[in-house]
Structure 1
Amino acid sequence: MSATEIPSGAVVRAVGPSRTRDGRPLGSIPLVREPFLSASRVPHVTFPSNSPARGSLRRAAVASALVLCGVAGLAACGKTVSVTDASPAPAAAATSAPASQPPAATAPSGQPSSNSGLQVVDSTAAQNGLTGNGGTVVGLAVQETPPKWVQLSAVTSPRLGSHLINVNQATLYRFDQDTAQPSQSNCAGDCAAKWPPVTVQEGGKAYLAGVDPSQVGAIRRPDGTIQVTVGGWPIYRFSGDSGPGDANGQGIGGTWFAVGPTGQKATP
């Protein structure tokens, strides 16, 4: 091979000026050939755990993720959950009905067939530029219209340990006679008047502080309203709590307890 022949896949870099000192053109001297370095052949560099370079790379990666999250909107950092039907499931024997019978309806005729879900946002309402309470009422006030959004925040107190409050700092509860798998509310009528379900508009949002988004869900109550669940457990307020931080419903009947961030009973 002559000095000026360049093999396929090589990158050519000229060394020195365009002409030599004795006046010869550059083409009359050998060229330095550098093999092309493909991506698969780039050496892997590992920094020690205490290396400043490694810390810089980690911070850059986190910053990039936050930028992507911001570009997509904070809601994109959460999820959208489907609203499940809280009505009891049909008995298994119903599946053995003769083939001549028409299939059962998928939902009671009085309930909407659409399911806009609940948007769960892994940040607070204030961090998303919202003020106020979204329409959430306090104490004995009746929640005549579900709020556009709710907020669930994990706090800790000496009496209850880690538990949830809403945007008005009202303690939230769970009912032992409900079920979490599947999510089912067994509190209606007079019970629901005393223990108002935490409801939200369909397609509304649940903002979180200290709560894992994977723990938050929603069910459709028999009256068609959407109730928020945590760890599968439907959650409620207590009409006997009139001020922020009240927890007068704790332990009532041995079945009502403040709810923790994963749906557990809150205990100190």
Structure 2
Amino acid sequence: MFRKHALFFAAFVTAGAALLSACGGQTDGTPSAAPAGAAVDAGDAGGLDLLSGTARSNNAARDTGDLAPASAPADVRTKWVSLRAGKAGNLNPVVINGAGMTIYRFDNDSPKPPKSTCNADCEKKWPPVKVTKGTKVFIAGIKKSAIGVVKRDDGSLQLTIGNWPAYTFSGDKNPGDTNGEGVGGTWFGMSPTGGKVLDGSASGTTTPPSDNPPTPSGDSKAATSTILFDDAFFSDNGASQGLSFGSGDNACQNLARPGVTSSLTTDGTLKLWTGPNCTGKSTVVDSDVKDLSTIGFDDAIQSVHFGA
């Protein structure tokens, strides 16, 4: 742990460099009577640019996107959105944005078709995660297929996860706050698949456990890029390093900083090795891993092979 924290301010190799209610159960008094917003495919008409990793690991500009002040112009605030599966309070895993704020969903909304019913005063308390065509969306621990957009009543576009519109809460003041959890019995933290995450300490229920990475199916393509985070849950509190694989590259690559990785993102099948030059103990993953301790590889990776 000391070794990892000592590297906090060290330069790190990024994937960007390597690759380039009180609203309660109602809205503004009554549910909106406007026609349901039309769902827009993120990879098509929505025009979102989906990228693996976090804002920091992709060298996103500071004071823009999730880190822009509320007074910034809309085009600055929608330059990018960062979404990662993390921990906040008793919620685990829950989606967290690039500023470390918890993402919520509203039970009064609809996923089929996607529709936001939080407008007017409700929108002030629960700001929608708005995007525009070209917005970069950095994702870690969330499948690209879960990301979409929906047109709101005012014509703006709101990001969705698993077809559920995504929001932050004005009552959350600091990263990791979960003051919106359970408000009105209709607002809950959003899971990486768009489901609701329940606070076990408040509701008497248990928080859904973190998923171990699924057993590789065997039909995934070989990875072409990976970002390895020093901390679990793709946290930007520590450093990260990126690797990429292209034509003519060696499929086996050693890490510049071995033995410090606790979570990783990958765009395909990747074989992890505990020794240099793809030696030692190994395991295969084909999806993001939010906590490598769950598979016995925390702080153990020294090299990776792009493909099984």
Structure-1-length-normalised TM-score: 0.55
Deviating above 4 A after TM superposition, structure 1's stretches of 4 or more consecutive aligned residues are 141-144
Bigger share in strand: 2
Instruction: Name 2:100's counterpart in structure 1.
Output: 169
1:199 to 110, 117, 130: 130
1:191 is paired with a residue whose SS is helix
1:120 is paired with a residue whose SS is strand
1:88 Cα deviation from its structure 2 partner = 2.6
**Preserved contact between residue 149 and residue 201 of structure 1 (Cα < 8 Å):** no
Which runs of structure 2 are paired with 1:38-77 in the superposition (5 Å)? Answer: none
Q: Distance in 1 between matches of 2:189 and 2:71?
A: 20
Q: Distance in 1 between matches of 2:58 and 2:68?
A: 23
Q: Distance in 2 between matches of 1:136 and 1:246?
A: 16
**Preserved contact between residue 174 and residue 233 of structure 1 (Cα < 8 Å):** yes
1:203 Cα deviation from its structure 2 partner = 1.9
Instruction: Name 2:186's counterpart in structure 1.
Output: 255
Quick check: 1:118 aligned with 2:48? yes
Instruction: Name 1:264's counterpart in structure 2.
Output: 195
Q: Distance in 2 between matches of 1:157 and 1:170?
A: 8
Of structures 1 and 2, the larger Rg is shown by 1
Instruction: Name 1:127's counterpart in structure 2.
Output: 57
Instruction: Name 1:88's counterpart in structure 2.
Output: 35
**Preserved contact between residue 147 and residue 199 of structure 1 (Cα < 8 Å):** yes
CA deviations 1:110-152 (Å, max 9, x no partner) are xxxx94521221222233232425333689x467614211000
Which runs of structure 2 are paired with 1:147-166 in the superposition (5 Å)? Answer: 147-157=78-88, 159-166=90-97
Bigger share in helix: 1
Root-mean-square deviation (Å): 3.1
Structure-2-length-normalised TM-score: 0.48
Q: Distance in 2 between matches of 1:143 and 1:182?
A: 31
Quick check: 1:229 aligned with 2:185? no
Q: Distance in 2 between matches of 1:89 and 1:256?
A: 20
Query: Which amino acid is the alignment partner of residue 128 of structure 2?
Result: P
Q: Distance in 1 between matches of 2:63 and 2:98?
A: 6
Identity percentage over the alignment? Answer: 43
Name the stretch that deviates more: 147-156 or 128-137: 128-137
Distance 1:120 1:195, change over 3 A: same
Q: Distance in 1 between matches of 2:119 and 2:19?
A: 37
Which sections of structure 2, spanning at least 5 residues, go unmatched? 1-14, 21-33, 39-43, 199-206, 208-308
1:214 is paired with a residue whose SS is helix
Q: Distance in 1 between matches of 2:36 and 2:104?
A: 25
